[in-house]
Structure 1
Amino acid sequence: MAKADQVEVAFRIVIERPVIGVPHSLQQDDAPLDPKASKDGEALVFDFPVRIGPGPKFFGDQVRREGPERRFVYIRIGDLAGDPASPWSRRMKIDIHNIGADLIDRAIAGGGVIETVIDGTGKDGTPACATVKPLRRAVVPS
């Protein structure tokens, strides 16, 4: 698909309740990008662009694919986020292929950000990992 058929949309992942002191980062290629760690339990925020084409189809440096339809973004945790001393070496997988056309249309029309909020702590008190379901998703002002 030609880039001319795609529109860039701002995306944001907000990790609520991250485990304090554990680094998190976006994944770009096979490396951490923009690592952050919570000092007092504050949320971690990652902003990045995604190109969206008809279908919708999702493209960008942070967009990963699995099969013909599934698209997602990885958040790297602990060692994978650049802290070799961390006891954790994990990734969160956050699906984006299931974002509704209504949110995409609103973000494009109003220049807003598609924000996905997730819980950063698993039931066992360690950093959440594997496929993480959003707590909420909305278009917010940029």
Structure 2
Amino acid sequence: MAADQQITLRLTIGEPVPGVAYSLQNKQGEPVCAVIAGEQPLSFDVQVAVAPGPRFLGDMVRREGPTRRFIYIAIGEQAGDASSPWNRRAKIDIHDLPAKLLEKALAGSVLEALLPGRAADGGPACASVRPLGPWKVVE
């Protein structure tokens, strides 16, 4: 694997809470690409650099410990909407992407995770959010 090859990850929230702001969150904790959710699924495409190891790098990639890498989706206040009743973020792990899918992403395919939109309280899903199924190649 060459150093710092780029891949695209698509994070799709299946049932976002309508009227709530969602965004990616960069390493500085700032919202990026904020949008207000409607009734339809909401997607964010994230560019990620992949170094040998593999190691995942980039402005949206956060780390915890020596191996855990993840991306935050900011919600409500954290997405820049100061008037929102929600102040949450969802943590989506990327360090455990299957090797076969990672190979396809390095060859130019987009990998997508379908994420739950709602938490048990009916508000936006937050904390460590697991995809509803396996990551897949976008056709």
TM-score with structure 2 setting the length: 0.93
The alignment's C-alpha RMSD in Å is 1.1
2:91 is the alignment partner of 1:96: no
The aligned residue for residue 30 of structure 1 is 29
The aligned residue for residue 115 of structure 1 is 112
2:118 is the alignment partner of 1:128: no
2:12 is the alignment partner of 1:10: no
What is the Cα deviation at residue 5 of structure 1? Answer: 1.2
* Amino acid in structure 2 at the alignment position of 1:118: L
2:79 to 78, 81, 99: 81
Paired residues, number: 136
Q: Which runs of 5+ in 2 are unaligned?
A: none
* Residue identity (%): 49
What is the Cα deviation at residue 98 of structure 1? Answer: 0.7
* Amino acid in structure 1 at the alignment position of 2:129: V
| CA distance in structure 2 between the aligned counterparts of 1:84 and 1:9, rounded to whole angstroms | 33
CA contact (8 A) 1:94 1:131 kept: yes
- Cα offsets for 1:91-134 (capped at 9, x unmatched): 1000000101110001222x110111101111221111100001
| CA distance in structure 2 between the aligned counterparts of 1:62 and 1:120, rounded to whole angstroms | 20
TM-score with structure 1 setting the length: 0.91
Structure 2 SS opposite 1:104? helix
Q: Which runs of 5+ in 1 are unaligned?
A: none
- Hey, which bits of structure 1, 4+ residues long, moved more than 4 A? none
- Cα offsets for 1:27-55 (capped at 9, x unmatched): 0122100011222x211110121011111
